[in-house]
């Protein structure tokens, strides 16, 4: 069980679309708006986990067409986020939008997020510690995963919200924007590379 918890921590703490966009929403719109997005990400990641546990994800992702559509959709969304962050000027995070990212956006991102499927498949199909009871093992895995997921994502949201509260100099804010945009681009490049290598 400890090796499972360690794997959860290491797989979730690595920057992916969810944590990077959550920090960006916190930095751009503050903690309260970030909490709505956080809740959407939480619901979305649990829907993906349930799809993996029940085998539905394996059935759906067996289709090359569906995998390609998910990759294109997630890549397009990540490129959009990177663009919005990079062109935000002297503001941290996103430019002003007619609508703040919220619950629906968080759920949608997780449903098209390749990292969510890879992480959940790795965690729920491996690290068996209660082979005599599949249901009990999956329930414990969900509990452990969610406890670590909530803690780490809350930390990323808090970091983003703290950046907004710092009222940094415009040049420093632009540098942070560019760093966040480059991080999002790196995630896109890694995702495309790994899909091409696989």
**Could you read off the pLDDT of 18-31 as tens digits, one per residue?**
888 888 888 777 89
Asked whether 42 and 153 are in contact (CB, 8 A), the reply is yes
Q: What percent of the chain has pLDDT over 90?
A: 26
DSSP 102: -
Q: Quick one: pLDDT at residue 52?
A: 93
Mean pLDDT of 158-172: 83
The candidate with the shortest Cα–Cα distance to 21, out of 97, 120, 102, 142, is 102
What's the pTM? 0.78
Helices 2-13 and 134-166 cross at an angle (nearest 10°) of 40
Does any domain span residue 67? yes
User: So what's the pLDDT on residue 62?
Assistant: 83
Contact 31, 195 (CB under 8 A): no
The verdict on residue 104 lying in a domain is: yes
**Is residue 131 situated within a structural domain?**
yes
pLDDT at 96 over 50: no
Residues contacting residue 192 through CB under 8 Å, at least 6 positions apart: 71, 75
Domain that holds residue 46: 2-193
In a domain? residue 198: no
Q: How many domains does the chain have?
A: 1
pLDDT in tens, 78-94: 777 677 766 655 554 44
């Amino acid at each position: 069980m400890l090796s499972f918890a360690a794997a959860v921590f290491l797989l979730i703490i690595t920057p992916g679309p969810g944590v990077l966009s959550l920090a960006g929403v916190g930095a751009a719109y503050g903690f309260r708006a970030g909490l709505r997005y956080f809740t959407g990400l939480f619901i979305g990641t649990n829907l993906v986990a349930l799809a993996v546990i029940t085998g539905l994800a394996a059935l759906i992702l067996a289709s090359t067409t569906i995998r390609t559509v998910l990759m294109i959709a997630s890549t397009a969304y990540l490129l959009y986020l990177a663009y919005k962050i990079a062109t935000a000027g002297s503001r941290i995070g996103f430019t002003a939008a007619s609508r703040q990212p919220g619950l629906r956006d968080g759920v949608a991102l997780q449903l098209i997020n390749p990292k969510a499927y890879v992480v959940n498949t790795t965690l729920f199909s491996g690290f068996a510690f209660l082979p005599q009871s599949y249901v009990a093992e999956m329930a414990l895995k969900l509990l452990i995963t969610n406890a670590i997921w909530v803690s780490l994502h809350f930390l990323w949201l808090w970091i983003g919200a703290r950046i907004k509260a710092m009222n940094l100099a415009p040049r420093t804010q632009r540098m942070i924007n560019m760093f966040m945009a480059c991080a999002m681009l790196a995630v896109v490049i890694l995702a495309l590379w790994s899909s091409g290598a696989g």
